[in-house]
A and B are shown apart, each in its own frame.
Chain A
Amino acid sequence: MPGELCEKLLNAAEKKSKYAEVRFMELEGSGAAYRNGSFEGAAYSKSSGYSVRVLNNSLAISFSNSENFTELSRALDVAVERSMIPGKSRLVTKSDGKKEWVVSGSKKVDNVSLEDKISMLRDNDILMESLGASVRMNYLSDRKVKQVFMNSEGSEIKGEFSRVSYFYFAGILDSGEFEQSTGEFGSTGGYEYFDALNLRDRITDDIGSIKKAMHANHMKPGKMDVVIGPEISGIVAHESAGHPTEFDRIVGREGALAGESFLTGKKLPMKIGSEAVSVIDDPSMKGSYGFYVYDDEGIRSRKRYLYRKGFTDEFIHNRESAARQGVEPNGGGRSSSWNMEPLPRMSTTYIEPGDYSFEELMEGVNDGIYVKNFTEWNIDDIRFNEKYVGKEAYRIRNGEIAEQIRRPIIETNTIKFYSAIDAVAKDVEFFAGQCGKGDPEQGVDVWMGGPHARLRDMYIQ
């Protein structure tokens, strides 16, 4: 039976190392796609394997998907031999004891027929076409994960969970003009997530807005007040609060890949914005796309303030980065598969809601813009210089929403953005995404979100 060699492999590994751990993961995923009125196809994958990490004079990991103990021993020996060569060798080796956790949702992924999934895709494709989208792609997928973590300090954590996700791309072509939009939704649990999502309403609103946007005017660049929507709050929290507080980036471990952090080498805590701004990463938020009870290194998950009232606060850690800072790991060690190393990763990252209503935010703006959501975005590798192109956006005049505008650009830096926030609304909304990091690159499921917020005196292009 896949996974039954964990204990035997750990016993062998701990005899040859100062510290050892064994991870087993089984991932079973299925998906289907619809493109431009045609069923695209369906896919299923089942993958499982072991990862054994040993610490001696340095750290080494072997990954193998064999269920033959002789072959696994051979893989272990490669790691042990290499771990005798000097290198970095700090790791928090604690145990969280023996625990088990399960999340499968009320409408389990195994209980939803492929026919029903395809119907959902087809119905949304038809809806998009009726709304005028000539380019349409719809993807639905689900995944079941079983994981076991054991270490030489006595940890034995077993977890099982499932996730569901939906992604669409829509493009409208009219008189040589083109507007495109994507939507991504996901949850840890089962298909009950879609029952309350109102996906068809969301698609209808989204396509309706880009249809109008393509005939709207670009605005004249200049300084003005800006109200941002939850989707912008979310991407900003993820890109310029979550990533720069991953502690492996701060100490240079990702320097040649995903990059370092603008916090590298800075005196901490550091002021990053106004007192109105707090940003949280919380893997323990039930139902979220990044939910888990124990991370992939057997550490209990918990809520963390990354920025608190305008200052840096806690950092995202795995066992290795925690040892570098001299603190306890805080449940941020995530791995997308059995054959990927756990790295400090985000889960659900969001700007903490404040006290304002949306109307109160708007009332305080005489001449500005409301940027509800975004299309193109990017950020530099220290997570400082960033750009968000508005997808659905409007002028604000005397506290009221006025005419729609096309693709306004917020191109600024992290400190300026968070410092310009003077008011944060009570509402909060979350969006799903895939976050990439590491080499080999591994994507993990995340939510990002937040409330509406008001920024003063921003330069808009």
Chain B
Amino acid sequence: MEVNENILKILRKKDLSEYVVATSVTDTDQVRFSVDSKDLFNHWSEKSAAIFISKGKKIFSTTISNVTAPELEIDKAVSVLNTLPENTNYMGLSDKKHSYGSLRKFKKIHADIDEMASTVLNSALNAGSDRVAGLVYNEFSTVYLDTQINEVEYSEGGLHILVRSFSGEGTGQESSHLGFDSKRSTNELEKMGREATETAKLGTKFSEGKPGKYDVLMSPYLVGNLMTYGSSLFSAYNVDAGMSCFEKKVGQKVASGIVNLVDDPLNFNGDAAIQVDEEATPTKRLPMIEKGVLKTYLHSTSTARKFGVKTTGNAGIISPHPWQLNMLPGEENFDDMLHDMKHGLFIKNAWYTRFQDYRNGIFSTVPRDGIFTVENGEITGSVRGIRISDEIPRILMNIDQVSKEQMNVKWWQEIHSSFMPYVHVRDISISRSF
């Protein structure tokens, strides 16, 4: 790409086996608000280049912001590379030439984020909130990516809206992401603000939670949180490192038969959609769990060669990762799932998920923004002070209902952009503070 030419000219003269140059040009805006008004407007205008070089099994990565005069940094990188030991796990970049003929082109979404922030803020306040907090993003980047055999230009970005509402002790949160193909409407924004406040106001009859085993109806936010933290367990890097509970589980049942999970990078209804991975391999819709059976780990070319399979288009060259998870809809209506619960908890969101044992997937997480007791299909109150303290493999196996409804969920680093349904899970371990 012309944008990378200053860098490429220098790299071509060096004695290297491989290189990747990815220059990102970013144009992003954000409005933040809290209590009853806006706090701050932020604007980012950035250009920087991420460079990966290798010589045999020696590898080095560098990021530079001075892309017009990069000689010094590149000279330094190459001289350092020559002194390094080999990475015996490194198996090389993709050597497949791609044409990228069908790549879609995008421009930054035209949106008045000030107006959007006002709409969602006022909607939450008008529904009776004590106070509100949130933000609206409009993110856009163009990436110019070159390897020795491929060159490609692509765009990524979208809108992200977050609103949290407070009413007495109760809180409610709605948070969505919209990609280049998403339809946007003022009604949806108003609905987000209103529903955040309705959830907050539902939390009126609070009691201390009781520890034990519960059937739990999980909202798409909670499912998104668990899958965000659990997703690293699917990476071939973590499997190879001995850090995954899914080691030696490809082809085996790892979830209930009604669970279907795909990585969905070409779904432009979401803002994490991406068309090529970090080594220029085109991405694709990738079944990860089909009818409860683990189909594959997530691979780059390097990890794929080590495992004797093909790349899945999920580079991170060294550490592959998912782009945009999608737990496919099931057959139940959410209303019926709630109505059919005899005794259990309906939990809308969680945060601070931490593992005490990655190999067995043992973790705990702190529910928030709607923790309700359910008796005979009715929400009867709210609880405080509880945790989900359980194991990822057990939760996946105990899912017995998946909803038809799905939501675009994203929140901070706690929920990566994804599409998630409501799920009902049997016998979840709940602990509490004493």
Contacts and interface: CB of A to CB of B under 8 A. Distances in A.
A376 B361 CA distance: 12
Given A115-B83, A256-B135, A407-B356, A38 B88 contact: yes
A83 interface: yes
A40 B237 CA distance: 11
A41 B60 contact: yes
Interface stretch (B102-110, B159-167, B287-295): B159-167
Contacts of A409: 431
A171 B242 contact: yes
Contacts of B59: 41
Interface stretch (B14-22, B328-336, B363-371): B363-371
A43 B89 contact: no
Contacts of A178: 357, 359-360
Nearest to B434: A459
A180 B358 contact: yes
A51 to B, nearest CB: 9
A58 B412 contact: no
Interface string A161-200: 0000000000101000011100000000000000000000
Interface residues of B, number: 75
A78 B34 contact: no
A61 B431 contact: no
Contacts of A387: 364, 387, 431, 433
A39 interface: yes
A256 B354 contact: no
Contacts of B242: 36, 134-135, 171, 173
Contacts of B387: 378, 387, 411
B34 A253 contact: yes
B121 to A, nearest CB: 11
Given A39-B85, A413-B385, A385 B433 contact: yes
A379 interface: yes
Interface string B338-353: 0000000000000111
B100 interface: no
B358 A44 contact: no
Chain B interface helix/strand/loop/mixed: strand
A384 to B, nearest CB: 8
Nearest to B89: A38
Contacts of A252: 34-35, 131, 133, 166
Given A40-B318, A44-B80, A252-B34, A63 B243 contact: no
B415 to A, nearest CB: 12
Contact of B365 (A253, A378, A441): A378
Contact of B46 (A35, A65, A385): A65
Residue of A42, A47, A67, A74 contacting most chain B CB atoms (<10 Å):
A42
29 contacts: A39-B84, A39-B86, A39-B87, A40-B318, A42-B60, A42-B61, A46-B73, A65-B47, A65-B48, A66-B47, A79-B41, A82-B41, A87-B39, A115-B83, A135-B241, A180-B356, A180-B359, A251-B35, A253-B39, A255-B34, A339-B44, A378-B352, A378-B366, A385-B433, A387-B433, A412-B434, A436-B413, A441-B413, A461-B431
Interface of A: 2, 35-36, 38-49, 58-67, 71, 74-75, 78-79, 82-83, 85-88, 114-115, 118, 134-135, 137, 171, 173, 178-180, 251-257, 260, 339, 341, 375-381, 385-387, 389, 407, 409, 411-413, 416, 436, 439, 441, 458-459, 461
Interface of B: 30, 32, 34-35, 37-48, 59-66, 73, 76-77, 80, 83-90, 114, 131-135, 162-164, 166, 173, 241-243, 318, 351-360, 363-366, 368, 384-385, 387, 412-413, 431-434
